[in-house]
Structures are given as C-alpha cells and as structure tokens.
Amino acid sequence: MVKAPELVAQKLQHLPDSPGVYLWKDAGGDVLYVGKAKSLRSRVRSYFASDHPFSLKTQHLVRHVADLETIVVPTEAHALVLEANLIKEYHPRFNIALRDDKSYPYIKVTVNEPFPRMFVTRRVVSDGAKYFGPYTDVGAMRRSLNVVRRIFTVRTCNYDMPREMPERPCLDFFIQRCKAPCVFKQTQADYASMIDEVTLFLEGRSDEVIRRVRERMELAASSLDFERAAEMRDALHHLEKMEEPTVVLRVEGGDRDVVGYARDGDDAVVALLRIRDGKLLAREHRFIENVDGEADGDVLRLFLAGTYVAMPERSSELLLPFDFPDRALLEESLPGESVHVPQRGVRRELVQLAEQNARHLLEELKLSSAESDVRAGDPVYDLARELALHKLPRTMACFDISTTQGTDTVGSCVFFENGRAKRGEYRKFKVKTVVGTDDFASMNEVVARYFNRRTTDGKPLPDLVVIDGGKGQLSAAHAALDSIGLGQIALISLAKRDEEIFVWGRAEPLRLSRRSPALRLLQRIRDEAHRFAVTFNRKRRSMRTVTSALLSIPGVGPVKRRQLINVFGSVQGVRDASEDDIAALPGFTKASARRLKEQLAASDATAAPAGG
C-alpha cells in the first residue's frame, strides 16, 4: 500500500460518493493528471490502496502527487466532458495527449449576422456562427473556398451591415463577385437564400444546391429574364463540374460519421470519415500520444468526449470500431444521435475503411519518425486487435521443436518483421541438454538459448513470441523467458489441432475465424517455423546416416568422410560417383577410390535382403 502525502490524506477522508473530476497536482501546484469518476471517494482512494504493480505510469504519478482537487458534477456524463475540457486546458503530463486540434483551420460562416460573411479561422467559439471543418487537408479547404467564391457572391468586406454601409460598391461588384447588398442592390432575403446554399455546399449537399439552381434557371428562362438565366446556367455548370471531384467514394445513402482507430505502443491515431448523402467527402484525424498502459477504450473515449462532441457539424449517426465502458455516457452527451458498433454489413465495411485510414496515418507517422523502415500490413494490426496487444507486433519470433523417436532433436526460430519473413534472422538449434523425447524441456532450452544470445549481442527483442504447440509448450517457453527476466514479453502459442490460440495470462484459449487475416498470419509463421525445424532435423538424420555408412570403410577417416559428404552430399552420391571423381579429391588416389567403391558395393550386398 502506498502512503498518501499528509495534505492528500486529509482530503481523502472527506471525498463525496458522487460523480466528478479529480486533479492530481505536484508540490508546485502544476496539474499532473486529470481523471473522471463515477464515485470520487472510491476512485481517488484506489490510488493509495495498492502498489499498482501493472502500471509503471501510475506508480510514477503517485510518487509525485502532493495535492488533490476535486470537482463534483451532477452525472458521470458531465464528468466525461469536463475531464476532456480540463485535459485540453492543462495538458497534464500523465494524461493521454491529444495533439492540439486548434492548429487545424475551419471555414466560418457568420449566419448570426444580417448579411453573413465567410472566412477561415482557427478558433471555434460559441457565437452562433456555423463552422465547417476542421480541415486537416488545407488544400481541400482552399478548393472549397474557391468553388464557393466562384459560384456564390458572398461579400468579402468587413462592414457591420446594416449598421455600417459604404457610399458606393467595391471592385467585387464590378467584376461580378458580389451583388453589392451594401448599397441595397441585393435584398437581405435574396442574400440569405444564397447563404443557405453556401452552407449546403460546405456540408457536402451539392445535389440539393444543383437542384435549386436549376429550378431558378428554368424559372428565369420562362420569365424571359435571360440575363438571370445565364447567371444560373454558369453557376450550374461550375457546380456540376466541381461536384464529382469532391466525392472521394460513394457508399450506402445517408449521413454518417465513421471512426477508425489504430495503435502502436505509445502512439495512436483516430480517423474520422464524414459521409453526407451517401458520399465520403472528407477524412479528418488526430494523432494521440502518451497512451502507453492505457486501455483502447479510454483512448477512444477521450477523443470522442474531448474532440468529437465539440465539433459543430456532426452527423445523426456515429459508427465506432469497438465498444467501451463509457459508451452510454457518450450517448448522453450526443442527444439526438445514434451510436453503433456494427458487426457486419455496409456499416462494418465503412468502419473497416476508417480503420485502414487510421493504420495508414499511423504508419506514415512511424515512417516519418524513423521508428520503422517497412510499413506493417493490415494483418499485423488485426493481430494486435485480436490479441489485445498494446504494442503492435511489428517483429515476431516463432519457435518449433522437431525430433525423430527421441534422436536428432532440433529447434527452430523464424523471424517475421511487419508480417514478412526476415530469413537473415532465422536460427536453428541442436538440443543439447534433453535426453529422449521431451518437447517441453526442449522448448525451454531453445527459447532460453535464443534470448540469452539475443540480449548478450544487444539485439532488439521481438514484440511477440509465438510457440508452435499448446499449453505445455507455452508454459515451458514462459518459464525460460521468466528465468532471464523477460517474462513481460507478449507470448502466445498456436495449437495445430483446432487452431486454438493460447495467450499467456489468459485462462481460456482464443478462437478466431478461419478467414481472419490475423489467424492466417499466425498460421504462416507457425508453418514456416515447422518447415525450418523439419528440414534441419532431416539434414541431421541424413548426415548421421552418411557418416555411419562410411565409418566401416578402412582408410576413410574424419577428414576424408567430411570431403565426401561435402562434395557428393550423401552415400548414394558417393555410390554414383566415378572412381576418377573420387580420386580427384585431396588425399585420394585411384587405388583408394577403387577400394572405397568396392567396400561400398560389398556393404550394400551384405545389407540387401535375401531373395526368395
């Protein structure tokens, strides 16, 4: 049990059994960590109830705590949002860190003004205006602005209309970029109708804008207002020309926000796909740091509560990649929106698309920071998700044992990096300490020798160790790792019979779909380890057979036997060789080659079964 500082201990005695947010502070008053609780009393006291053996970050946090501040709120849903807001305000060092989204620009339309304006801003405030974004792709934002300004005549001046009005229109009026509402050449109702179409376009509803413009063009033509009809025709032409390039992908109809998630160790990425009228229009993302030791559900919750809830333009439907404990609280923060975790169908395919985007972004981050030389494939991410690994298994080592009736027992280790075989890191072992058939003891020896050598040479350890076998082989491998202080390495075994995955630390085996990319990757590395072990075992048996056959031939010592094996490969190869071929070897003459052939022929005749 950890002893609380005196000031904190006094406050622990009076904590309410209510929902709220707590702030841990250091001796200088700086906020170290912000957390939420359903019950402040039980959650805050839990920090000093144990030594937190499974969380180094919590141990480090508790050692620096000097003060405590708590904020009581009506419900846990309120605590969810307040926690996210306080994290963004204080940036505590022990919290998950969302990269600051204020660096991303928005398009702001001041619909709260009589004659709204449109401009770029990086600051979102609750002022009644409409904000579109954030745009992580600034180029896409600029293209949207150019389209709007080419088609619609939104004013670019900063007059506080109608309180401030110029005496004459500006240049935009004369080049037909503005209809001069500032000098009453355009009515407020007509201007407001245009702004409605601008917001529809920025929301991705260009089909509706095209329909309205076409109706007005036809109405003007029927009224013989050909100048107005020509304006609408030109606007329609630009809209139809620009509509398709803004569509990234067409999917099932409807409006949806789709979340994808990818994680590797201390870094994670959340990707958000915006779908409007069945068209994928934009992708946004956040890089998230300092997530080591945090559950995936907590990381996703923080993004949703701290970023998504605050977004001004949300869909009525939100699709998530997986469930998490605080989902009900999130739904309370999103009134009128439905939240789903789809398991199949078109919605699941959309989530998979968002996850692919997140994986791509995370790989770009890793590659740009020189933490990886090769991009990991999707099955590697699927494997991390299925096994609930916090660190992506970019490197995997798989072990297998091969024996023939208790003799020639060998072990193999194959090495995969980012889902691909790295043959330069393959290793094979002659089992030295085990007599007879004992797969468990053999596995223990091979794993211990491999990791002892790996640590001695200062080489990086694999992110995941895979054992070909069941619970017994898994326990033997863990005992070997634990004996050299590496018991924390992620360890699993794959049993051939039912393709069950045994994960060290879990009581029940894991069974994946036969079509699962994660299972197929494990099968591939397991089968490669088995192939490598069996090949080495056969070679050992062949070498032993060749050596024993040559041992009985007079005049052929160890050096000559080695030469024969290296040149001809087997006893049969020596039998098939000519006397001249054998005599050409160092230490042999034509006479000794002839005697060797005669001795082999005699031994073959002796070993041949009698005819009958």
**Which residue in this structure is represented by tokens 């500006």?**
170
Residue recorded with tokens 């946004």: 284
Q: 6-95: what fold?
A: GIY-YIG endonuclease (3.40.1440)
DSSP per residue, 336-401: T-EEE---SHHHHHHHHHHHHHHHHHHHHHHHHTTS-SSPPPHHHHHHHHHTT-SS---EEEEEEE
Which helix (H) or strand (E) segment is 109 a member of?
strand 106-109
Asked if the bond preceding 166 is cis, omega within 30° of 0, the reply is no
**Residue 374 dihedral angles phi and psi, to the nearest 5°:** -130, 145
Helix or strand (DSSP H, E) at 528: helix 517-551
Verify cis geometry, omega within 30 degrees of 0, for the bond prior to 114: no
How many angstroms separate the CA atoms of 65 and 7, rounded?
10
Residue 186, C-beta contacts closer than 8 angstroms, at least 6 positions apart: 153, 179, 180
- Range list for CATH 1.10.150.20 in the chain: 552-607
- The length of the chain in residues reads 612
Going from the C-alpha of 568 to that of each of 64, 546, 562, 565, 586, the distances in angstroms are 71, 11, 10, 6, 14
Helix (H, G, I), strand (E, B) or coil at 577: coil
pLDDT of residue 570: 67
Percent of the chain at pLDDT exceeding 70: 86
SS percent in the chain: helix, strand, coil, step 5? 45, 20, 35
Q: Which amino acid is at 100?
A: D
- Going by CATH, does the domain composed of 388-539 fall within 3.40.640.10? no
- Tell me, what's the pLDDT at 252? 56
CATH topology classification for 250-368: Nucleotidyltransferase; domain 5 (3.30.420)
Residue 207, burial from CB neighbour count under 10 angstroms (0-12, 13-18, 19+): middle
Question: What are the CA-CA distances from residue 442 to residues 22, 45, 449, 475 (Å)?
Answer: 52, 47, 11, 12
Tell me the CA distances in angstroms from 567 to 44, 202, 351, 563, 582, one per residue in order. Answer: 74, 76, 59, 6, 9
pTM, full prediction: 0.58
- pLDDT, residue 274, reads 85
When the candidates are 1.10.3720.10, 1.10.150.120, 1.10.150.20, 3.40.50.720, the CATH number that belongs to 552-607 is 1.10.150.20
Say which amino acid occupies 414: V
pLDDT along the chain (612 residues), means of 10: 77 85 92 92 86 71 90 83 82 78 74 90 81 70 73 85 87 85 89 87 75 84 85 73 47 79 88 80 81 86 88 87 89 87 88 86 72 71 87 92 79 92 92 85 94 92 94 94 92 88 89 87 93 83 56 68 75 80 86 82 58 38
- According to CATH, where is 3.30.420.340 located in the chain? 388-539
For the chain, where do the domains classified as CATH 3.30.420.10 start and end?
A: 250-368
Q: Where in the chain is the domain with CATH 3.40.1440.10?
A: 6-95
CB atoms within 10 A of CB 286: 23
Whole-number Å distance between alpha carbons of 73 and 21: 8
